[in-house]
Amino acid sequence: MQRRVSQMFSVVVVLGCCAWFYAERSYEPAIVFIISLGAAIHQFWPQKDKQDFTALKREFFDINARWNVEKKLKPYSLDDAKWLLSEILDYLKRLRIEVFKSEFNSDIDRLFLEIKEAQSILIEIDGGVSYEKFWKNGSDSINQVAELIEKI
């Protein structure tokens, strides 16, 4: 409703500026007309739908794909993988802001904790047990983020 009122008002202002410019042909009415026309165009410009999370979903799937590639490479150093987990944490922060539904806050908090725990796993000389635990916990957490995105 507010948007419609604002659109109608911007049209009235543009018409008033046209009448003013017609009656008094000087640069002041011309400048005001150009500014009001810009405001009217802005009012009728298509707005991003607040429930459109396709860009957020694409961003997550990009991070997920990079995680899967890193996992298949089986690197000696887990720095890049831990960096990807930090990107997931940043993603969860943005998801909380964009979604703004309190029903998902507990899930986001739980996932935040799980990913922080996965990041803190130290790789030890234990025959690859800690290495596999890191990849399993990270993958499980990322899969749970994917499930949460599908719920939203």
pLDDT at 124: 86
pLDDT at 63: 93
Instruction: Find the DSSP H helices in the chain.
Output: 2-23, 27-44, 54-73, 79-99, 105-119, 129-151
Give me the pLDDT at residue 52, please.
Answer: 61
Would you state the pLDDT for residue 87?
A: 94
Question: What pLDDT score does 70 carry?
Answer: 93
pLDDT of residue 91: 92
Per-residue pLDDT of 83-100, as tens digits, reads: 999 999 999 998 888 776
Quick check: 84 and 63 in contact, CB under 8 A?
yes
Low-confidence residues of the chain: pLDDT under 50 = none
Stated pTM of the model: 0.63
In angstroms, what CA-CA distances link 55 with 59, 70, 111?
6, 23, 21
Say what the pLDDT of residue 51 is.
Answer: 54
Distance between CA atoms of residues 118 and 132, nearest Å:
11
Torsion of CA 9, 11, 16, 21, to 10 degrees: 140
On the CB side of 30, CA atoms within 13 Å amount to 3
What pLDDT score does 98 carry? 77
In angstroms, the Cα distances linking 98 to 5, 32, 53, 142 are 26, 36, 8, 19
Q: How much is the pLDDT for 150?
A: 86
Let me know the angle formed at the C-alpha of 60 by 56 and 63, rounded to the nearest 5 degrees. 140
Confidence (pLDDT) at 22: 85
Q: Give the pLDDT score at 135.
A: 93
